[in-house]
Amino acid sequence: MEADVFVPFVFFAFLAAIILVPVLAKERTKRSAHDLISQAMARGQPLEPSLVSQLTQDMLDEGNRARKSLGSGVILLALAGGFVAAGFLIDGGYDRDGDVIRGMAVPAVILGTVGVAFLLLAIIDYASKKRSA
């Protein structure tokens, strides 16, 4: 496999792993907890009030999706700005052809567009929360 194909593949595979693995692990943990509770209820075992309050609090925390989306959007936009700034710094000091700034612009554009999408999602979530409240 050529380096022109291998390096971007490794980068995006690493990026996907960083994003997807924690999300999938959290969902699996929640699913197993709910399965365990449903099995206990099917057997007629009483549920502890602390367990019910913890699950309720977790559900309420998940309901604040707009704030999480806003935070994710801001972080991704900051990362995109960091890539652009790093490209300008490297371009000015080390690379006279301008290839570095173009190379740093690719991840900056990707991270920036995902950040803008998260910001739009946060705006939509805030607007829909105000309508439903």
Q: Do 58 and 69 belong together in one domain?
A: no
Output helix, strand, coil percentages for the chain, rounded to the nearest 5: 90, 0, 10
94 against 37, higher pLDDT: 37
Structural domain containing residue 53: 1-62
Q: Do 23 and 58 belong together in one domain?
A: yes
What's the domain count of the chain? 2
Q: Do 128 and 106 belong together in one domain?
A: yes
| The domain boundary residue, chosen from 46, 62, 78 | 62
Question: Is the pTM for the entire model greater than 0.85?
Answer: no
Q: Do 120 and 81 belong together in one domain?
A: yes
Q: Do 78 and 124 belong together in one domain?
A: yes
Q: What are phi and psi of 18, to 5 degrees?
A: -65, -35
Give the DSSP letter of residue 98: S
| The domain boundary residue, chosen from 42, 62, 82 | 62
Average the pLDDT over 97-103 and give the result.
69
One-letter amino acid for residue 105 of the chain: A
Could you tell me the CA-to-CA distances from 41 to 44, 50, 57 in Å, in that order? 5, 16, 20
